[in-house]
Each structure stands twice: as C-alpha cells, then as structure tokens.
Amino acid sequence: MKMFHSLWLGLLASFQLLAAPVPHRDSLNVSLLPFFSSAAVFIAKERGYFAEQNLDVDFIHAGAAQNVALAVASGEADIGVTALTAGFYNLAGKGELKIIAGQYQEKKGWPGATYLACNSAFEKGLTSPKMTIDHKMGITQTGSTFHRWYGAMAQSQGKTLENDHLIRLQTVPAMISALVSCQVDSIIMMSHVAFKLSSENKAHIIGRVSDYNPGQMGVVFTSPGSLNKQPDKISRFLSAYKKASQDYFDTLITGNDDHAKQALLTQINQYLTPKLPERLLPKAVVYLDQNAQPDIPSMQENLNWYQQQGLVKKNYNLADMLALSLLNNPEKTPVNNGKLH
C-alpha cells in the first residue's frame, strides 16, 4: 500500500510539473554578421545569459554591415550589432538609430580585420597593405568599413583612392569569392575568415588593420522607437551582453586557463561562418572591452573621414547618436525620441 501511495504521489508531482505554465520569454531579433566580432552576443545566447534575462533572442544574419543598420531602421530587427559604416552614420544622424554599447575594437597586438592578397597578386609582389591601394580592392559598398580602411591607408600615404580600383561586390561572401578567383587583388576580412583562407592556401595574409587604423569599429545599436517602447527589454539585453563581454575579456584577453579558453572558443565557433579548425581559433580572437564601452574619440574620427569623403552630412553629430544610459545606468528609462535621462 505504501508503495502504491508513493507511486501515486510521484505521478501526481509529474503531472503538476507538466501542467505548470512555461515562463513566457520576451522575443528580440538581433541583426548581425556571423563574425568573431559578434562573439559577446553568441556567448550570451550559448551560456543562457539571455534566458536568465527572460529573453528569447533570434539572430538575423546579414550579408553586409550596412544591411544590419537598415534592418534595425526598418523595424525588421530590434537590435543591430556590426561595424560603423557611412550608411549607419547617415541613419543615426537622421535620428533613426541610437548607439547603446560597443562591439569590437581594432587594437594593436590583437587579430581583427586582416589584409589579404590573392595568390597571383601575392606572387607578383603584393606583399604589404601599403601596396593595396594601387591594385584592385574588393569591398562590399561605398561607405563600408572596408572602404574606410582602404581610404585611411591611402590617406596615410598622401594619396586618394582611385575609383576604378575599388570593386564593389555588395556582400562579404562575394568578396571572398572574388579574392579566391583573383578577380580582385586584395580584400580586408575579419581574422577568422582570413586565417581559414590562408590555411587552405586560397589567399595570403599580408597585414592587420590594427597596425594602421586602430580604434572602435563595431557597435550595438537600436532604434529610438525600441528605446521608448521596450526599454526594459533593451536593458535586459545589455545586462546579458555585458556579462558575456566580461566572460570574453576574462577568458580570452587576460585569462591564462587554456582549457577555459578552448571551451569558450568552441562555443563561439559554432556561430561563425565559416567555422574554423580548432587549431586556428586562438588566432581569431579580437579585442572586446570588458564593459562593452565604446571608444568614442575613434568613432568621431570615423565619422570625420566619412564626412570628408562627402558620404555623411557634415551637420550630423556623434553626440546625438549616443544613447549609453541603459548600458551605464540600467535603472534609467528612455523618453523623448530615444534621448535618455
């Protein structure tokens, strides 16, 4: 009889668990590129930090950084995570986007955006980033970060970019394909892609952007509408994002535990396109700030360059594009068209 009673209690408890309502999670769509620079977002999802904040986060992969900005401005995505482009600055300057945190930085001594030469161009002597501006350069679009990096290289030599040397290919996959087939002589690509192409003898690494153009290259952003309508969701996203950024920094930037490093790199790698062989993962680590803080002076330098090229209106101010209060003071709520108080 005791056995029957215990069995009955166990079954009753099971039915109660099954009948218990599943906690509702708020959904967020995040537009990004599947690059190592987005690692903190991947960590937050993989380690359950978004779930801890009662968020169900879905990723929308874009073919180019400017498409990420458009996805957020159009309402297709709630949050964008990508590089700073002329298109981004123009949308933010018009008040359609707000920067809420930093993403990755080009920092000397760390991998990041990498100059690649196609095999035949390398064999003919294209062995330095300084030489790329005199050859065919593959970029996604005018005003992209790739355009900006090549432009900064030309500027450092007192030259201007020749328009017919810039081959606009629209998407990152098209850039990679054009380089491998030597339709272009060089491209600039994130380190995890660069190392994979190099390891497969499909291209040659010839330098790092961080040696020539260090600074903030990526940000996290949203729309003023999202800031006003769902500040709590944005704040919870940032809490998870900051926690993941701290994990990244403690493990991959300052950490010495090889086992912990490998475990975190493996978690990140499953979200990358293309995925890297494990032996190459440590070479792909980019620099992320532990508190997800953006480097504002270098962002201003970026804006200045785009404005000098006539790609962004000169009356747009970086200060008007910033909305960092939820990152720094989560209790604060945004009002008045996304301006935080």
Helix, strand, coil shares, percent, the chain, to 5: 50, 20, 35
CA distance 224 to 100: 11
Give me the residues paired with residue 98 across strands: 222
Question: Distance (Å, rounded) from C-alpha 115 to C-alpha 205?
Answer: 6
Give residue 6's pLDDT: 53
Phi, psi at residue 29, to the nearest 5°? -100, 130
Share of the chain above pLDDT 90, in %: 76
pLDDT value at residue 24: 73
Q: For residue 341, what pLDDT band results from cuts at 50, 70 and 90? A: very low
What pTM value is reported for the model?
0.84
pLDDT at position 12 over 60: no
The C-alpha atoms of residue 159 and residue 238 are separated, in whole angstroms, by 41
pLDDT of residue 146: 94
pLDDT-derived band at 10, boundaries 50, 70, 90: low
In this prediction, residue 139 has a pLDDT band, given cuts at 50, 70 and 90, of very high
Q: How confident is the model at residue 331 (pLDDT cuts 50, 70, 90)?
A: low
252 within 8 A of 266, measured Cβ to Cβ: no
Residue 336 clears pLDDT 80, i.e. is over it? no
CB-based burial label for 246 (10 Å; 0-12, 13-18, 19+): middle
Q: What is the pLDDT of residue 64?
A: 82
| Chain mean pLDDT for the chain | 90
Residue 231 in tokens: 């500040």
| Structure confidence at residue 334 (pLDDT) | 43
Residue 274 has pLDDT above 50, yes or no: yes
What does the pLDDT look like over 297-320, one tens digit per residue?
Answer: 999 999 999 999 999 999 999 999
Beta strands across the sheet bearing 98-102: 55-61, 26-32, 79-83, 218-222, 98-102
Picking from 47-51, 138-142, 145-149, 270-274, which range would have the lowest pLDDT averaged per residue? 270-274
CA 79/CA 196 separation, integer angstroms: 29
Alpha-carbon gap, residue 341 to 326, rounded angstroms:
10
pLDDT of residue 26: 94
Mean pLDDT of 37-58: 97
Please give the pLDDT value at position 339.
44
Cα(11)–Cα(87) distance, integer angstroms: 59
Q: For residues 113 and 14, which has the higher predicted lDDT (pLDDT)?
A: 113
User: Comparing 15-29, 97-111, 120-134, which segment has the lowest mean pLDDT?
Assistant: 15-29
17-41 mean pLDDT: 81
Which domains occur in the chain, in start order?
26-106+216-340 (3.40.190.10), 113-213 (3.40.190.10)
What does the alpha-carbon distance between residue 178 and residue 119 come to, in Å, rounded to a whole number? 12
Mean pLDDT of 267-284: 89
48 φ/ψ sector (left φ>0, alpha ψ -120 to 50, else beta): left
pLDDT of 273 > 90? The answer is no
Overall average pLDDT of the 105-114 stretch: 91
% of the chain beyond a pLDDT of 70: 90
The yes-or-no verdict on residue 8 having pLDDT over 90 is no
Please state the rounded mean pLDDT for residues 107-128. Answer: 95
What is the band of 23 on the pLDDT scale with cuts at 50, 70, 90?
A: low
